């Protein structure tokens, strides 16, 4: 059934990029200089001497062999971070001095923008233009934003019922463990490091095993900017070894994790079973994108396409359930199919490419498996449904119509370029269906009616609602989810709360002139 559906599409679809994908890929000019663990300010091999390969998703070839950190390496990194916090200058220098180091770091990131973007594209497969023109500038902006917060973190003077002076202190929480994902490696690096550094903490950061290169390069620049020894330690390695060791470490005071909901549960359990360290989780999503009956269909199609296909669909908040009002449904489906057929897929280093390869073979096969499931469950495969080319992890932009809520493609986080278009009749119905999910990360609403927008904004159980836009991220806008999409918020003033302890100090007042 599945192969027959794909064969029919091949007769009508025009995937002219397939031949180009099989051409010789562009060779990046950036050098791979940092492949070891960063512990106590120095690059060192893993204690075991082990390394693992990081692959080019365009070709499946090895880019470099990277040190494989394990529990013993995590112990060394935690010890370095603990010493830097308990004895080092970082939490003891003025907040203004910390902010100056962070600002110098932002300047260095800006100076090396193109090299970092090349590493990000080479290791991850995202379009170079996206990395160089959008993501790295966002990283720079975020560090400057939190550098500005560093000397504005303070407590309060609190009136009490009686002759006491009461104040609150906002103190750094201590040693922070941070685990970042592979879909936005350096952006997640910034979301984690920015607030933690501004508050005066020390850090052990574990990179995703698929994408370790850009974080190592950036961390070298952070030490060049004047970061004291041991404040940031970076471990490359696997989740069940290095990640588990960090999550369960008794001398880590705080944990932050971005990744799948399933792994997030494990991280939370390990943290609880060790020293009950607080945990911030930014997890999976299955975000609804709701196209109302008054929508401009052409604009809605373009925005819904962006909401789903951005970053190869490998985005936790992707608008992966496209709900379209029945009055415009057929028109929307035809135009969504045509837009997917026009999507330019190929070597992400080439100008004009919209979509590169998926991250690795596991994700590639997972996506193709969900596409087979969609066909087998009765959804209509409008376009796509197969790999592109004969090498690398390229997947055709895929569109399904006639999708039902109980199908796996409508329930599970696919994390790939697969758009599922569902039909709805009225607002009450779509609100109920949109909320009938274990996730609650984000939602998109496309309408010209302010009353409709307000109704949906308040009814949807999600952390972010985008009205007539999508994926608008800013350093000041908090991000996080309801339900099994996580706990806590990152970015903005709310991100600082994750890395602070609040202490109350009470002092008696003798012969007070006033209270």
Positions annotated as catalytic residues are 282, 316
How buried is 107 (Cβ within 10 angstroms: 0-12 exposed, 13-18 middle, 19+ buried)? middle
Neighbours of 350 (CB within 10 A): 16
Are 57 and 387 in contact by the 8 Å Cβ rule? The answer is no
Neighbours of 455 (CB within 10 A): 16
Cα(243)–Cα(204) distance, integer angstroms: 11
Strands (E), 51-147: 51-56, 61-67
Cα(436)–Cα(395) distance, integer angstroms: 29
Cα(165)–Cα(162) distance, integer angstroms: 9
The sign of the dihedral angle between the CA atoms of 170, 171, 173, 176 is: positive
Q: Choose among 27, 186, 183: nearest CA to 113.
A: 186
Which residues, 6+ apart, have CB-to-CB distance to 3 below 8 Å? Answer: none
Q: Choose among 491, 386, 390: nearest CA to 142.
A: 491
Beta pairing, strands 51-56 & 175-179: unpaired
Beta pairing, strands 380-383 & 486-487: unpaired
Are 212 and 165 in contact by the 8 Å Cβ rule? The answer is no
């Amino acid at each position: 059934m599945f192969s027959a559906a794909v064969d029919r599409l091949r007769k009508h679809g025009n995937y002219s990029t397939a031949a180009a994908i099989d051409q010789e890929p562009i060779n990046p000019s950036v050098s791979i200089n940092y492949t070891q663990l960063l512990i106590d300010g120095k690059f060192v091999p893993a204690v075991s001497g082990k390394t693992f390969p990081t692959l080019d998703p365009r070709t499946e070839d090895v880019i470099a062999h990277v040190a494989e950190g394990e529990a013993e390496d995590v112990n060394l990194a935690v010890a370095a971070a603990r010493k830097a916090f308990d004895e080092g200058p970082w939490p003891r220098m003025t907040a203004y001095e910390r902010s100056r180091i962070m600002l110098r770091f932002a300047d260095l990131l800006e100076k090396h923008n193109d090299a970092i973007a090349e590493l990000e594209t080479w290791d991850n497969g995202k379009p170079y233009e996206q990395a160089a023109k959008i993501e790295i500038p966002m990283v720079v902006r975020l560090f400057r934003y939190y550098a500005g917060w560093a000397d504005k973190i303070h407590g309060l003077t609190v009136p009490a019922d009686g002759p006491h002076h009461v104040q609150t202190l906002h103190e750094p929480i201590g040693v922070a463990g941070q685990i970042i994902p592979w879909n936005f490696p350096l952006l997640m690096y910034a979301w984690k490091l920015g607030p933690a550094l501004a508050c005066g903490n020390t850090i052990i950061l574990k990179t995703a095993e698929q994408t370790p290169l850009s974080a190592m390069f950036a961390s070298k620049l952070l030490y060049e900017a004047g970061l004291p020894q041991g404040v940031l330690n970076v471990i490359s390695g696997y989740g069940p070894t290095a990640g588990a060791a960090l999550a369960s470490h008794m001398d880590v005071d705080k944990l932050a994790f971005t990744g799948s909901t399933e792994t997030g549960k494990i991280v939370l359990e390990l943290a609880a079973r060790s020293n009950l360290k607080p945990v911030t989780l930014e997890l999976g999503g299955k975000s609804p994108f709701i196209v109302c009956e008054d929508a401009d269909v052409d604009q809605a199609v373009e925005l819904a396409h962006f909401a789903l296909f951005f970053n190869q669909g490998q985005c936790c908040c992707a608008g992966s359930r496209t709900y379209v009002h029945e009055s415009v449904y057929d028109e929307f489906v035809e135009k969504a199919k045509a837009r997917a057929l026009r999507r330019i897929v190929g070597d992400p280093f080439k100008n004009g490419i919209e979509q590169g390869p998926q991250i690795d073979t596991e994700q590639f096969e997972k996506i193709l498996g969900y596409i087979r499931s969609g066909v087998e469950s009765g959804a209509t495969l409008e376009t796509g449904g197969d790999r592109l080319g004969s090498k690398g992890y390229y997947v055709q932009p895929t569109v399904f119509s006639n999708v039902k809520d109980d199908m796996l493609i409508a329930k599970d986080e696919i994390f790939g370029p697969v758009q599922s278009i569902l039909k709805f009749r009225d607002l009450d119905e779509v609100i109920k269906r949109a909320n009938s999910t274990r996730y609650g990360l984000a939602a998109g609403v496309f309408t010209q009616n302010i009353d409709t927008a307000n109704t949906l904004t308040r009814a949807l159980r999600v952390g972010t609602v985008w009205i007539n836009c999508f994926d608008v991220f800013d350093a000041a806008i908090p991000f996080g989810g309801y339900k099994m999409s996580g706990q806590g918020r990152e970015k903005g003033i709310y991100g600082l709360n994750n890395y602070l302890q609040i202490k109350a100090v009470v002092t008696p007042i003798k012969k007070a002139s006033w209270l």
